[in-house]
Amino acid sequence: MPHWLQLMLDSLPTLLWAALIFTVPLTLLSFAFGLFVGLVVALVRLFGPKPLVAVVRFYVWISRGTPLLVQLFLIFYGLPSVGILLDAFPAALIGFTLNIGAYTSEIIRAVIGSVPKGQWEAAYSIGMTWSQAMRRTILPQAGRVAVPPLSNTFISLVKDTSLAAAITVPEMFQAAQRIVATTYEPLILYVEAAILYLVLSSVLSALQTRLEVRLNRYGGFLEARS
């Protein structure tokens, strides 16, 4: 068996274990919390008082306008200067959550804003309150439209978790770096890590396609707006 293939096979369990224990949980938790933050921020942007709107707009501006790696460094290495000490995984979780929250808030704000005004009027005409109209009429319609961009954000997050290696989170990419430090085979190990990320992204892309097909089967974007 070629040396490079044997090295890949030997390192595969370590990389998969790091992905299972750190990469996957970090991705899922960051996206779930970020989606919640994004929904809250989007609702504030659309319906909140002006002072609060200014606050969340500033948050979105900072999060979208600065590199994610810099944000992670500020949380993990910068906050200890003011007495806030965080372990690597919680620091990465906070950083990814805030970053994803900013991006998803723009997606959610756009899809809610795309729902015709007549849908609000129809909901109010049958006696719904604002919260009932939002929950029963607006969000279900907006959710269909949001699936593709939110899915793309989730797939990007899977790859972005590799940045957590820079703040010592032992996820899949850092596991590859540690093996490289002992084997001195960076090309083979980094190619293997890239292949694993590619496989994860491809599986998620296939699931996204199936989800979109399923949603279209029960009423696509145009039907949701009618």
pLDDT, tens only, 76-119: 999 999 999 999 999 999 999 999 999 999 999 999 998 888 98
pLDDT tens column, 189-205: 999 999 999 999 999 99
Q: Which residue type is seen at 220? A: G
Q: Write down the mean pLDDT value for the chain.
A: 92
224 band by pLDDT with thresholds 50, 70 and 90: very low
- Position 214 scores a pLDDT of 83
Q: Determine phi and psi for 123, rounding to 5 degrees.
A: -65, -45
**SS3 track for 148-200:** HHHHHHHHHHHHHHHHHHHHCCCCHHHHHHHHHHHHCCHHHHHHHHHHHHHHH
State the CATH architecture for 3-218. Answer: Orthogonal Bundle (1.10)
Terminal Cα-to-Cα distance of the chain (whole angstroms): 61
Please state, in angstroms and as integers, the Cα–Cα distance from residue 156 to each residue in 87, 101, 159, 194, following that order. Answer: 24, 14, 5, 14
Q: Judge whether 140 and 97 are in contact, CB under 8 Å.
A: no
Per-domain residue ranges of the chain? 3-218
**pTM, full prediction:** 0.90
- Asked if the model's pLDDT at residue 42 lies above 90, the reply is yes
Return d(Cα 75, Cα 139) in angstroms, integer: 33
